[in-house]
A = this chain, B = another copy of it.
Amino acid sequence: MEYAVRGELVLRAEDLAKKLKLRPPAAPALPFDHVTYCNIGNPQSVGQRPVTFVRQALAAAVCPALIGLTPAGPTQSPRVFPPDVELRVRQVLHASHGVGAYSESRGLEIVRRRVADAIQKRDAGIACDPENVFLTNGASDAVKAMLSLIVRGTGDGVMIPIPQYPLYSASMTSMRGVQVGYYLDEDEGWSLSMAELQGRLEEARGRGVDVRAIVIINPGNPTGQVLTRQNMEDVIRFCEREGLVILADEVYQQNVYVKHKPFISFKKVVTDLHSKVELASFHSVSKGVLGECGLRGGYMEVVNMNQDVIELIYKVLSVSLCSNIVGQLAVDLMMTPPKPGEPSYELYNAEVTEIFESLRRKAMALSEGLNTFEGVSCNPSEGAMYLFPRITIPEAAIFAARERGMACPDVLYCVELLEATGICVVPGSGFGQREGTYHFRTTFLPPEDQISDVIEKMRTFHSSFMKKYSSTFQS
């Protein structure tokens, strides 16, 4: 089991960061003065600031004695928390036992009702039953719970995209299920081909695998692609025909940067098609504009699942009693932000707009930059927080990586990038890629004023890497 975004390269980066911090004056200097973490979608670790509204509401819920407090000041000061924050928190506290008590295993009822209302609004009025919503520690726990129900033994398989986010491969490995990989088409902007799905499914069934579900990541991770509605309809028909459950990783639903491909939820399309396909959709406060990774708040909505299955999910989640309540409240705050006219709205809107627009600009700048490197091509990021550029690795580098016992030549590329520039990215092999192609995944999360520096450092490194291992090339 490997978890690339927390793998060896990251540990090496942390060592370098420690060295920079503790370096005795006499020690030889590193060729950089800080480590730039582009390995993981962890916005607040690289300078993104939390949204004021969210933190005010959570602080009030954690310490209700602060509600109603007025700070000292020369003139008549406003209260510490705006009245809409206080009202919301009072409502939650009234309908629960606060953040210090276990909630029911699905999560607090008041939060699930509010989340259900917000989902209904997102999906143009399609009904959402709070009993089908499960609040979890981030999306990861929900994904693991669903996979643990789907994989009953070593003969059960789940279709997983290549490239994919390692949560899926690592969970499947630990559950001893079969990963049935399907390739996304890099030449077509990482789109999903029905012929590929059908082919891989038949191949797996041919060798006796009981394929039971498919994971779709939309917007994509690490690819950043956004599915078209037509693509989604095709997938749903395919899953209906083949009896597959859809596991829709939709944690980047707020992170769509292109106007022509708005995010559409799988639930919306399933419902529009009157499909009876079973679906679980995952979302998280870690991504979006809040980037509240450390709170571990997430939810799963299940659609078209029968009562027996829902009760089984309940049982699996109840073994951990409930997810953390602060994270549950954060899910509510993400799903139902302040509305125009409410006291918190103006500041909230200014903060999230700035975060979103900055993400969009950084995504574009970085992909445009990468595309100017010789031997690098990068699909633009339509969504999510990542780019997955394809890199040329010269024969001599492939040989050198093999000599050094590395699993894949892109590891050599990433290690040398880290050691030369302090920029930490993740080798493409950690996510999966077509045989003979090489990539890395980078976030575009560093502060905006550092992005051009990141590009230039990457450019200089890339060209010297190519020179170092020059003469014979292989694409």
* A→B interface (CB under 8 Å): 1-3, 6, 14, 40, 42-45, 50, 52, 55-56, 58-60, 62-63, 65-66, 69-73, 77, 80, 97-105, 137-138, 140-141, 144, 148, 167, 170-171, 174, 286, 291-296, 315-316, 318-327
A80 to chain B, nearest CB (A): 7
Q: How far is the CB of A101 from chain B (nearest CB, A)?
A: 4
Q: Which of B44, B80, B103, B318 contacts A69 (CB 8 A)?
A: B80
Contact indicator B45/A97 (Cβ below 8 Å): yes
A40 touches which of B70, B102, B140 (Cβ 8 Å)? B102
Q: How far is the CA of A258 from the CA of B418 in the complex (A)?
A: 57
Chain B residue contacts of A327, Cβ below 8 A: 324
Contact partner of A140 (CB less than 8 A), chosen from B97, B293, B315, B321, is: B321
CB proximity of A36 to chain B, nearest CB, Å: 14
Residues of chain B contacted by A66 (CB below 8 angstroms): 59, 66, 80
- Residues of chain B contacted by A62 (CB below 8 angstroms): 55, 58-59, 62, 326
Chain B residues with Cβ below 8 Å from A138 are 320-321
- Verify A100–B292 contact, CB threshold 8 A: yes
- For the complex, give the distance between the alpha carbons of A286 and B99 in Å: 11
Q: CB distance B63 to A319 under 8 Å?
A: no
A323 to B43 CA separation, bound complex (whole angstroms): 17
Give the nearest-CB partner of A40 in chain B: B102
**Among A69, A80, A97, A101, which residue has the most Cβ atoms of chain B within 10 A?**
A101
Q: Is the CB of A294 within 8 A of B98?
A: yes
Question: Contact between B174 and A319 (Cβ–Cβ < 8 Å)?
Answer: yes
> Do B319 and A294 touch across chains, with their CB atoms under 8 A apart?
no
Q: Which of A60, A100, A140, A148 has the most CB of B within 10 A?
A: A100
Partner of A315, one of B1, B286, B318, B319: B1
| 11 pairs from A and B in contact (CB 8 Å cutoff) | A14-B104, A44-B101, A52-B65, A66-B80, A100-B295, A101-B294, A102-B286, A140-B321, A144-B320, A294-B326, A296-B322
